[in-house]
Amino acid sequence: MADYDYDVLVIGAGPGGYVAAIRAAQLGLKTACAEGRETLGGTCLNVGCIPSKAMLHASEYFEAAAGGAMAAMGIKVKPELDLGTMHGQRKDAVKGLTGGIEFLFKKNKIDWLKGYAQFTSKDSVEVAGKTYRAKNIIIATGSSVTPLPGVEVDNDKQIIVDSTGALELAKVPGHMVVIGGGVIGLELGSVWRRLGAKVTCVEYLDQILPGMDGDVRKEANKIFKKQGIEFKLKTKVTKAVVKGKKAVLTLEPAAGGEAETLEADVVLVSIGRKPNTDGLALDKAGLAVNQRGQIETDHDFSTQVPGIWAIGDVIPGPMLAHKAEDEGIACAENIAGQTGIVNHDVIPSVVYTWPEIAGVGLTEEQAKEKGEVKVGKFPMMANSRAKTNHEPDGFVKVIADAKTDRVLGVWCIASVAGTMIAQAAQAMEFGATSEDIAYTCHAHPTHSEAIKEAAMAVTGKPIHV
């Protein structure tokens, strides 16, 4: 250790990096974490998962009051929007949680190297003019918004914005156009629709929520349409220009054809995210990125250069905070000589709209490509708790191997789908069959009973339909 400053130096303090740093320190390794942002927590805590959920949660209450859901339960209110306070509670959530990570760093004696790190060799980096040598370096630099050619984002003007700008709008737009029907666009589009904006979502593909189960995508589209979001599918945005206080977008059919224009008060560009590797001077470490700009790793998160590891959004796989966190823990454990493993086949994904949309494992389409499957479905309309709570939209779908009955995927649209999906992930992690889930006693009345009934539908019959 004599000529090393640290056993482990993590670059980036997002959910991948800060978790890796904490686990490394817990395992007795001398650890530092370089972070260029003014606060710890990365995209997730500063401009991603947490602030978006703060706005989703608050706007959900607003809509429940304004849209009649409360009146249906005998609570008559006329809500008045105080957007400043709503933004205030978002900022408080971010401040509290990012401060919490700072506390955990101190508690675990992790040095926060303030500034952006760049490699100077395969075992050293420079941060704010100072060079540090480390036995192990973990790259956890995350991702940032993918730009769209012909559409220039300027978050300060609040006309053409990315997800960070869309969290901060000072007033509710009259018309918001969301470019991209993925998770982030639908979540933030939902926030502003609930608060009063007309929302149009333009998606290049023939359906929203790419990567999710086909039934789920179709049903979600129906639900969002019912809520008032207008969709322009199979359509590409080729240009957006700011004219005064508005933006004018040029849209073209994805397959080619006549262009049309669309006017918006705010345009949200949410077509995806790209790995952050610019400025790292990877060449000095002898590392290169793949065709998608990601750093490739082995199953233990080691890169092709011994002593350099990578985790989170900067490596292949779904760009999700919990995937980054689990990789952070596993990577630190591997560095400490333990066996850290992440099962990439069982990573749940959740869209935090109303209702929530969640899935884990294979889609029905993917499962069918691999072999014969059996599918069980159960509508939330027939779940006593959802029905009582006036939450009839959605279903649960369990996909199992036709021969072995092993569960291959579970998909839910339900008010609390994000919470429900944890049991499916756990069951799959233990190699459960649909029968295992069907014969597990579920508390009544809960939304989770719909998972049990969908599992019952795989091999036999559910009770309540």
Q: Which residues bind ligand FAD (CB under 6 A)?
A: 11-17, 34-37, 42-44, 48-49, 52, 116-117, 140-143, 163, 184, 276, 279-280, 312-313, 319-322, 324, 352
Q: How is residue 172 annotated by DSSP?
A: -
The closest alpha carbon to 426, from 459, 390, 451, 460, belongs to: 451
CB of 20: closest distance to ligand FAD in angstroms?
9
Say which of 299, 344, 390, 444 is annotated catalytic.
444
Q: SS3 for 185? A: helix
**Does the active-site annotation cover 175?**
no
How far, in whole angstroms, is CA 70 from its chain's centroid? Answer: 29
CB of 315: closest distance to ligand FAD in angstroms?
8
Token pair of 65 as six digits: 């009051």
Q: How far apart are CA 327 and CA 318, in angstroms?
A: 12
Q: Identify the H or E element spanning 216.
A: helix 214-226
Q: How far apart are CA 192 and CA 161, in angstroms?
A: 13
CB of 137: closest distance to ligand FAD in angstroms?
11
Nearer to ligand FAD, 312 or 462 (CB): 312
Query: In the chain, how long is the greatest CA-to-CA distance?
Result: 71
Nearer to ligand FAD, 141 or 294 (CB): 141
Nearer to ligand FAD, 67 or 316 (CB): 316
Nearer to ligand FAD, 31 or 43 (CB): 43
The residue type found at 395 is: F
Q: SS3 for 274? A: strand
* Nearest-10 Cα torsion for 200, 201, 207, 209: -130
Report the interhelical angle of 449-459 vs 417-429 (nearest 10°).
50
CB of 130: closest distance to ligand FAD in angstroms?
13
Beta bridge partners of 127: 117, 130
Nearer to ligand FAD, 59 or 383 (CB): 59
Nearer to ligand FAD, 134 or 373 (CB): 134
CB of 232: closest distance to ligand FAD in angstroms?
22
Nearer to ligand FAD, 14 or 409 (CB): 14
CB of 77: closest distance to ligand FAD in angstroms?
28
Could you tell me which residues come within 8 angstroms of residue 51 by beta carbon, excluding any fewer than 6 positions away?
A: 90, 91, 93, 94, 167
The residue type found at 206 is: D
Decide if 371 contacts 401 (C-beta within 8 A): yes
Q: How is residue 271 annotated by DSSP?
A: S
CB of 49: closest distance to ligand FAD in angstroms?
4
CB of 186: closest distance to ligand FAD in angstroms?
11
Could you tell me which residues come within 8 angstroms of residue 343 by beta carbon, excluding any fewer than 6 positions away?
A: 429
Cβ neighbours of 393 (radius 10 Å) = 19
Q: How far apart are CA 8 and CA 27, in angstroms?
A: 11
**Which strands form 356-361's sheet, in the order they lie side by side?**
349-351, 356-361, 407-414, 395-401, 373-379
Could you tell me which residues come within 8 angstroms of residue 91 by beta carbon, excluding any fewer than 6 positions away?
A: 51
CB of 93: closest distance to ligand FAD in angstroms?
13
Q: How far apart are CA 428 and CA 440, in angstroms?
A: 14
Q: What angle do CA 360, 366, 371 make, to 5 degrees?
A: 115
Burial of residue 112 (number of CB atoms within 10 Å: 0-12, 13-18, 19+):
middle
Nearer to ligand FAD, 203 or 364 (CB): 203
Beta bridge partners of 200: 177, 230
Nearer to ligand FAD, 262 or 321 (CB): 321
| Active-site amino acid positions | 444
